Amino acid sequence: MAALVRENSRFLPPQMADKLTFPARFASMRAMKDNMPETLTISLSLADETATRALGRRLAPLLALGDFVALTGDLGAGKTALARAIIQARYGAGGEDEDVPSPTFTLIQTYETPDLLITHADLYRLDEPEDLRELGLGEALDEGTVLMEWPDRMGVAPANRLDIVLSLEGAPAATARVARLTAHGPSWVRRLNALKL
C-alpha cells in the first residue's frame, strides 16, 4: 500500500515538527490535545484486489460494537470485496473459507464472527426508504457493527462513522483503486490516526 496522504490531520509530520522551536512545538502539541479534529481523511492507492484485501485485514480489528462503516463508490469499485475481507478477517485463521456473498438481493447478511456480530448491508435495491425499518439496522448497530454499501439510499448516516470511498483509477478493466477513508467523530479519528497504513 503506497501513497499515504494524511489530508486534514492536525498531527504534524515529524520532519515539520523538528523544524519548529520548542515553544511552537509545545503549542502545537497542546492544540493537538485540545482540538482533536472532528474528521480525518486518509487516501490510499490500491494496486489490485490483494491490496484491497490487505486493507480489509488492517481495518477488521478496529471494529467494535456500534460501529458504522459506509462503503461508497461506483458499481464494481470493490465495496463488497473490501467488506468480504473485513468479515473474513474477523473469523480469524481460515476465515477466507467463509462464504460472504454480496447482499445485493438480500439487502442484508449477518455474520456471527467470534467476537462481533457484523451486518453487511447493500441498499442499492432499496425501493422505499420506509423499508429501511424492516431491515432492523438500528438493532444491528445496538448489537454489533454495520458495513453498508450504497448508504446514500438511507438519506441520513450516523454522525460517528467511518466513510470509505473507493474509486476506479485508469481504464475500466484495470485493477487500480483509490480508497479514501474519512473518520467522523473522535473515536474513529483516534483509531484511523493510530492505524499505520
Ligand X SMILES: Nc1ncnc2c1ncn2[C@@H]1O[C@H](COP(=O)(O)OP(=O)(O)OP(=O)(O)O)[C@@H](O)[C@H]1O
Rounded CA separation 98/139 (Å):
24
For the chain, strand residue ranges (E) read 2-6, 39-46, 68-73, 108-112, 117-122, 144-149, 161-168, 177-184
Packing angle, helices 79-90 and 49-59, rounded to 10: 50
Q: Which of 169, 195, 177, 170 is nearest to 71 (CA)?
A: 177
Residue with cell 461508497: 72
Which residue, 74 or 131, is less far from Mg ion as judged by CB? 74
Give the three cell numbers for residue 24: 511552537
Find which of Mg ion, ligand X, none residue 81 binds, CB within 5 to 8 Å per kind.
ligand X
Least distance from ligand X to the Cβ atom of residue 166, Å: 6
- Contacting residue, 9, 52, 88, 182, with ligand X by CB under 6 A: 52
Q: Does 149 bind ligand X (CB under 6 A)?
A: yes
Which of the ranges 57-65, 76-84, 110-118, 154-162 carries the binding residues for ligand X, by CB under 6 A? 76-84
Of 53, 55, 59, 80, the residue at the interface with Mg ion (CB under 5 A) is 80
Q: Does 46 bind ligand X (CB under 6 A)?
A: yes
Quick one: which of 52, 56, 63, 79 contacts Mg ion (CB under 5 A)? 79
Pick from 48, 112, 139, 142 the residue near ligand X by CB under 6 A. Answer: 48
Q: Is 102 in the site for ligand X (CB under 6 A)?
A: yes
Nearest approach, Cβ of residue 19 and ligand X (Å) = 37
Does 120 contact ligand X by CB under 6 A? no
Residues 97-156 that bind Mg ion (CB under 5 A): 102, 149
Distances 16 to 25, 104, 136 between C-alpha atoms, Å: 10, 46, 48
> Which residues make Cβ contacts (< 8 Å) with residue 156, sequence separation at least 6?
none
Give CA angle at 37 (156, 68), nearest 5°.
Answer: 35
Instruction: Identify what 167 binds: ligand X, Mg ion, none; CB under 5 to 8 Å per kind.
Output: none
Task: Note the residues at the interface with ligand X (CB under 6 A).
Answer: 46, 48-49, 52, 73, 75-81, 102, 104, 122, 149, 175, 177
Residues at the interface with Mg ion (CB under 5 A)? 79-80, 102, 149
